[in-house]
Structures are given as C-alpha cells and as structure tokens.
Amino acid sequence: MAEESRRLFLALWPEPALAERLHQLAGEAHRDCGGRIMRRETLHLTLAFIGAVGEGRLPELLETLGRIRAPRFRMQLDALGHWAHNHILWAGCTHAPPALPQLAADIRREVAAIGLPASGPAFVPHMTLLRKAHAPCELPVFDALAWDVAEWVLVESRLTPQGADYQPLAAWALG
C-alpha cells in the first residue's frame, strides 16, 4: 500500500488578538478589491513550504527542525500590498527584523539537508489576507501592528472544499 503523505509547511502563527486585527484589515481591503477573505484562524506567515512528505520521514524532520536555535524578535506589520501575479492582498513589514529571514533561511537549509524540498520562491515575508483580489484603488491606512514572535510551528495543510484547513503538528520556542 502506498505510504500516506502530509502537505507540510513552517510558519509563524499570530495570537488571536493580532489575527483579529488582521482579519478586520482584510475586511476593510475587501470592500475595495473583493476576493476571498482568509478565515481569522488560518492567518499566518509562511517561513518555508515543504509540500508532500511521506509519513515515515516525519520523525527525521521533527528531529532536524528541533535542533534549530534562533532568537525571539519583534516585527512591525505596517504594510499592505497586492501582487498582480497571484491576486493576493497581503500584510507585511517595510523593514523585516534580520532574525526573520535568518530563521527562514536556517529552516530551509536544514530541511534541504535531509533531502526534502523547502525552497519555493525567494522568502518574501507576507500574510495572505485575501485571495483572488483585484488591485486596490486605495489601501486601508492603519497603525502598525507589533508582533512579538516567540515560537514557530510545523503545520499540516489539508485541502477541503471550504479552503485550506491547517493543523499544527509541532512548535518550537525562540530563545
């Protein structure tokens, strides 16, 4: 019988209060550019996308990821943007703290070292708020949202007719 596989990625997951604020922003942007609003509980920032991983490789992946050491950091979510190529309306930061791309690079390197694909496009930190969105005429103006990042998570994505359903599998604290 074929081995079960899971669709995996690594991400930062906001606390409910921050997710709520981002969800409100998504609603404001939606008035202008339409599209599909991401559910509050699914909002996240992807660090690395792996894709399908055979069940049998999970222990090795967990052990590899568990060896990564990285510092806590604060991020200011102060920007909204729209990508024409994939019709995503996103939230991000004008100046990412260096610890953020460093964490993404460490994860990608370690995952690649055990022969799994963890690259995807170049790392551009963003949180998808709307999909299938038109280019906005005017983006909502908002006060920067501070995000104190204390952990990162391994998440399984299950595709359902209602959209992606995300299940956290493991979390690691930042030092």
Binding residues vs ligand 2AM (CB under 6 A): 9, 46, 49, 88, 120-121, 128, 157, 164
Closest residue to ligand 2AM: CB criterion:
120
In the bound state with ligand 2AM, the residue whose beta carbon lies nearer, of 143 and 155, is 155
Q: Which CB, 69 or 133, lies closer to ligand 2AM?
A: 133
State the nearest-atom distance from the C-beta of 67 to ligand 2AM, in Å: 23
Q: Angle 99-113/58-66 helices, nearest 10 degrees?
A: 140
What φ, ψ does residue 47 adopt, rounded to 5°? -95, -40
In whole angstroms, how close is the CB of 87 to ligand 2AM at the nearest point?
10
Q: CA 143 to CA 22: how far, in whole Å?
A: 11
Q: Say which residues have a Cβ less than 8 Å from residue 148's Cβ, sequence separation at least 6.
A: 72, 73, 74
Q: Which is nearer to ligand 2AM, 18 or 69 (CB)?
A: 18
> Least distance from C-beta 49 to ligand 2AM, angstroms?
3
For ligand 2AM, the closer CB: 115 or 175? 115
Residue 156 to residues 2, 12, 67, Cα–Cα distance (Å): 19, 13, 20
CB of 90 to ligand 2AM, least distance (A): 7
Q: How far apart are CA 92 and CA 75, in angstroms?
A: 9
78: which residues sit within 8 A by CB, 6+ positions away? Answer: 93, 94, 144, 145
Q: Whose Cβ is closer to ligand 2AM: residue 121's or residue 175's?
A: 121
